[in-house]
């Protein structure tokens, strides 16, 4: 792909915190049941003012309770979404350079990237399943599932996002969330949110934008003028869209050219294309 060299990849250069957090000590369990009846409804309501990750405004702690931090050797590398009591949805490219499960863990209830939160829980990885069509050069099918070794402990700051049933229309305002870079403008290391409109795929594939590089597995969201976007370190996290009063993980942060650049909106894996694969994989795994 012409701009594959600019695809954002997670950074592992942040030094680990010196404070220790232990793994959850509850007994392992397993379930294949999806929490459809209670997904996408946070106990702590968001402040949905128009804001941005690049240039950033801090999200209300716990208001995106399905956002998970993936750690490599105790440093945040990617976001993920809790979609099931034992499963996370994230980007396949998060694991391009590492597959050693004993070096990876997931943190729920997290708001501060560089310190330990009182609500934080740490979970081991049992397995990583990339989509079989994932292409690390084109970023096509950039989606993966992570099975944890046990069921997560739910609460006001830990719950599930819904899986989407349909596409959302161009112009729909959705929210990207994460603890990635803000280019030095605000709230370093805190959970942030950015309101971005979904962009029609034909527009996003135009010569002024990505010139045909956007596949049917991808979706675009952002502003032609730039200024608001997800950024490095947000990879794997959700693009949250409200549908019938519930939050859907409509997209997975995948790649981009720079952060918040003109005519270069964020590119997300279009989750609705993969719902059947997600449910089938969880059912047989």
β partners of residue 90:
144
Does the annotation count 217 as an active-site position?
Answer: no
Which residue among the candidates 105, 117, 140, 142 is catalytic per the annotation? 142
* 235 neighbors 229 (Cβ within 8 angstroms): no
Gap between the terminal Cα atoms of the chain: 33
Helix (H) / strand (E) containing 129? strand 121-130
Which residue among the candidates 139, 217, 235, 254 is catalytic per the annotation? 235
Burial degree of 183 (CB within 10 A; 0-12, 13-18, 19+): middle
Q: Which residues of 257-273 are buried (b: 16+ CB within 10 A; e: fewer)?
A: bebbeebbbbbbbbbbb
Neighbour count for residue 105 (Cβ, 10 Å): 20
Cα dihedral 102, 103, 104, 105 sign: positive
Does the annotation count 93 as an active-site position?
Answer: yes
* 259 neighbors 185 (Cβ within 8 angstroms): no
Reported as half-sphere exposure (CB side, CA atoms, 13 A), residue 263 has a value of 8
Length of the chain equals 285
Angstrom distances, CA of residue 269 to CA of 65, 91, 103, 116, 221: 21, 8, 25, 30, 11
In angstroms, rounded to a whole number, what is the distance separating the alpha carbons of residues 237 and 234?
A: 6
Give Cβ neighbours of residue 276 (< 8 Å, ≥ 6 apart): none
Does the annotation count 69 as an active-site position?
Answer: no
Which residue among the candidates 71, 93, 111, 131 is catalytic per the annotation? 93
In angstroms, rounded to a whole number, what is the distance separating the alpha carbons of residues 273 and 166?
A: 9
What are the residue numbers of the active site?
A: 93, 142, 235
């Amino acid at each position: 792909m012409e701009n594959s060299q600019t695809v954002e990849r997670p950074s592992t250069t942040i030094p680990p915190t010196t404070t220790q957090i232990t793994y959850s000590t509850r007994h392992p369990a397993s379930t294949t049941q999806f929490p459809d009846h209670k997904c996408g409804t946070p106990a702590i309501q968001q402040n949905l003012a128009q804001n941005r990750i690049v240039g950033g405004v801090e999200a209300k702690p716990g208001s995106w309770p399905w956002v998970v931090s993936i750690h490599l050797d105790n440093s945040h590398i990617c976001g993920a979404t809790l979609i099931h009591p034992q499963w996370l949805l994230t980007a396949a490219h998060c694991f391009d350079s590492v597959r050693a499960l004993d070096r990876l863990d997931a943190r729920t209830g997290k708001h501060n990237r560089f310190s330990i939160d009182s609500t934080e829980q740490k979970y081991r990885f049992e397995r990583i399943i990339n989509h079989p069509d994932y292409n690390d050069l084109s970023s096509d099918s950039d989606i993966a599932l992570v099975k944890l070794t046990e069921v997560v402990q739910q609460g006001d700051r830990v719950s599930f996002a819904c899986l989407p049933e349909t596409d959302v229309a161009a112009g729909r305002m959705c929210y990207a969330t994460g603890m990635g870079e803000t280019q030095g403008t605000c709230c370093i290391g805190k959970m942030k949110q950015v309101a971005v409109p979904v962009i029609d795929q034909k527009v996003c594939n135009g010569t002024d934008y990505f010139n045909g590089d956007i596949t049917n597995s991808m979706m675009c969201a952002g502003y032609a003028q730039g200024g608001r976007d997800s950024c490095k370190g947000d990879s794997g996290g959700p693009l949250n869209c409200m549908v019938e009063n519930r939050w859907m993980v409509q997209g997975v942060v995948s790649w981009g050219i720079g952060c918040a650049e003109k005519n270069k909106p964020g590119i997300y894996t279009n989750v609705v294309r993969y719902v059947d694969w997600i449910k089938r994989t969880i059912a047989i795994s």
